[in-house]
Amino acid sequence: MNYQYYMPTKVIMGEDCILNHSDIFKTLGKRAMLVTGARSAKLNGSASDVTSALEAVGISYIVFDKVMSNPTVACVYEGAALAKENEVDFIIAIGGGSPMDAGKAIALLATQEIEETELFKGKYENKVLPIVAVPTTAGTGSEVTQYSILTNDRAETKMSIASNYIFPAVAFLDARYMAALSHTTLVNTAVDALSHAVEGLLSVRRSFLSDALALESIQYITEALKTIKAMDVPGKITAEMREKLLYASFMAGVVIAQTGTTVVHAMGYALTYFKEVDHGKANGLLMGSYLSLVEKEAPELAAKVLSAMSFTSVAEMNELILPLLGEKIALTEEEIEHYTQKVLKTSNILNCTVKPEKKDVTDMYVTSLK
Ligand code: NAP
Ligand code: FE
């Protein structure tokens, strides 16, 4: 068997892990830039833990807190300009997938001149600033992936920078930061992580290792979603379950770092770009339709995914997930045709074990959204 596995991120998990390992920052340089969204990192304790740790080891820092959800190309160029102007040595990206992805692109653009038109073409030099990632949602797994997903208005879609140079050097996983997550963000991000694990199992690039991680991740996330669904009113999950979700999304991140994502993510990007559907929700709406297609051509593969959730049918999976995602959206025939054309050009399609034809993509949009 020929097989390669590469995941160079040092992952440190547990309560107070940042303060307990502040010495690590000294190995990365003398001046840091924190990359965050506008509010949450300041409110959930993650930014203050990072700044306390930096102060404890005498490292100065600046803050770029302008990352919006689904960060734009313009945002990361602005952040990179600030990093260059202040000659920072490393980046600490704190937040959900948006600040982590922005932080990775900033780390790349702070060290090399890349025109906007060249940004997604894969030609990068091996001189990216070291990246520390602090996830505060349990969803994207960006803390352990080589992807930075940005909104590219030129191409009217979300696109990935994919490079081994942007794997974070260190990821700190402290589930306490998730305590104040809204119900909607908790659910959507958990469903994103579930989608990574499921798509990993359905990828042509899967392996014995990615399958093992994906199956474990699916079990944890399904258990959490069942608990959340059983709550009469949106409430707080336990600290133990938050930690399990963070662990599960990290594992699912390791999975997609090996397998890539499939047509589910490709189709979701159009819903996010054109209809502002949250990333995880978009995947959750579409996942059942793709699993149904897989069931027709590779029933044993679909059964593997479903049995990890203790389900025997796609309908049962949908019954768990869809009610948690809120309102569906309506698309016109023209919109479906437009999005389908875009999806067919993505590289995600190549990862699919069961390759969807044009008609399949169109049908999946129709069945997912009715
Ligand atoms: P997000 O866009 O990073 O954050 C969503 C919202 O949650 C923001 O309003 C944010 O507020 C808030 N938030 C974050 N952490 C919080 C906390 N602990 N408590 C309270 N509120 C909190 O959402 P995400 O779903 O984590 O990331 C989505 C992005 O990741 C998309 O762009 C997607 O394409 C990308 N993604 C990347 C990968 C990868 O491998 N790189 C994989 C999948 C998805 P603030 O803005 O104030 O922080
Ligand atoms: Fe995702």
- Give CATH for domain 183-369: 1.20.1090.10
Residue 122 region, left (φ>0) first, then alpha (ψ -120 to 50), else beta?
Answer: left
* Inter-helix orientation angle 279-297/358-369, to 10°: 120
Q: Token match 């999005």: residue?
A: 339
Question: Which atom of ligand 1 is nearest to 147's Cα?
Answer: 41
Identity at 122, one-letter amino acid code: G
Ligand 2 mean position, distance from CA 251 (Å): 13
Question: Is 213 strand, coil or helix?
Answer: helix
Question: Which atom of ligand 1 is nearest to 46's Cα?
Answer: 18
Alpha-carbon span 86 to 83, nearest angstrom: 5
Q: Are 294 and 354 in contact (CB under 8 A)?
A: yes
According to CATH, the topology of domain 10-177 is: Rossmann fold (3.40.50)
At 145, list the tokens. 């992936």
Write out the H or E segment, with its range, that includes residue 56: helix 46-56
For residue 234, the model assigns a pLDDT of 76
Compute how many other C-beta atoms are within 10 angstroms of the C-beta atom of residue 305.
25
DSSP string, 124-183: --S-PPPEEEEE-SSS--GGG-SEEEEEETTTTEEEEEE-GGGS-SEEEE-GGGGTT--H
pLDDT tens digit sequence for 299-315: 999 999 999 999 999 99
Alpha-carbon span 47 to 38, nearest angstrom: 12
At 294, list the tokens. 């897989």
Q: Is 72 in the pocket of ligand 1 (CB under 6 A)?
A: no
Q: Is the sign of the CA dihedral 91, 92, 95, 97 positive or negative?
A: positive
Q: What are the boundaries of each domain within the chain?
A: 10-177, 183-369
For residue 315, the model assigns a pLDDT of 98
For residue 235, the model assigns a pLDDT of 76
- DSSP H helix total and E strand total for the chain: 15, 8
Q: Is 179 in the pocket of ligand 1 (CB under 6 A)?
A: no
For residue 233, the model assigns a pLDDT of 74
Q: What is the side-by-side strand order in the sheet with 31-35?
A: 10-13, 170-173, 131-135, 90-95, 31-35, 60-64
At 200, list the tokens. 């990993």
Alpha-carbon span 221 to 248, nearest angstrom: 7
Q: Is 141 in the pocket of ligand 1 (CB under 6 A)?
A: yes
Q: Is 185 in the pocket of ligand 1 (CB under 6 A)?
A: yes
Ligand 1 mean position, distance from CA 98 (Å): 5
Distance (Å) of CA 255 to CA 213, 275, 285? 7, 28, 21
Ligand 1 mean position, distance from CA 69 (Å): 6
At 259, list the tokens. 């397998």
Residues in the chain: 370
Alpha-carbon span 285 to 263, nearest angstrom: 13
List the chain residues with pLDDT less than 70: none
Alpha-carbon span 150 to 235, nearest angstrom: 32
Q: Is the sign of the CA dihedral 94, 99, 105, 110 positive or negative?
A: negative
Burial code (b: 16+ CB inside 10 Å, e: under 16) for 15-37 equals eebbeeebebbeebeebbbbbbb
What is the value of pTM for the model shown? 0.98
Q: Rg for the chain (alpha carbons), in Å?
A: 20
Task: Name the residues around ion ligand 2, CB cutoff 5 A.
Answer: 192
Could you tell me which of 274, 282, 261 has the C-alpha nearest to residue 336? 274
Alpha-carbon span 98 to 343, nearest angstrom: 22
Q: Is 280 in the pocket of ligand 1 (CB under 6 A)?
A: yes
Question: Which atom of ligand 1 is nearest to 257's Cα?
Answer: 40
Alpha-carbon span 370 to 367, nearest angstrom: 6
At 112, list the tokens. 């090399």
Residue nearest to atom 27 of ligand 1 (CA): 97
Ligand 1 mean position, distance from CA 18 (Å): 20
Alpha-carbon span 67 to 73, nearest angstrom: 11
Q: Is 147 in the pocket of ligand 1 (CB under 6 A)?
A: yes
Distance of CA 153 to the CA centre of its chain: 20
Name the DSSP class of 22.
T
Distance (Å) of CA 144 to CA 46, 100, 163, 331? 18, 10, 12, 34
Alpha-carbon span 123 to 100, nearest angstrom: 21
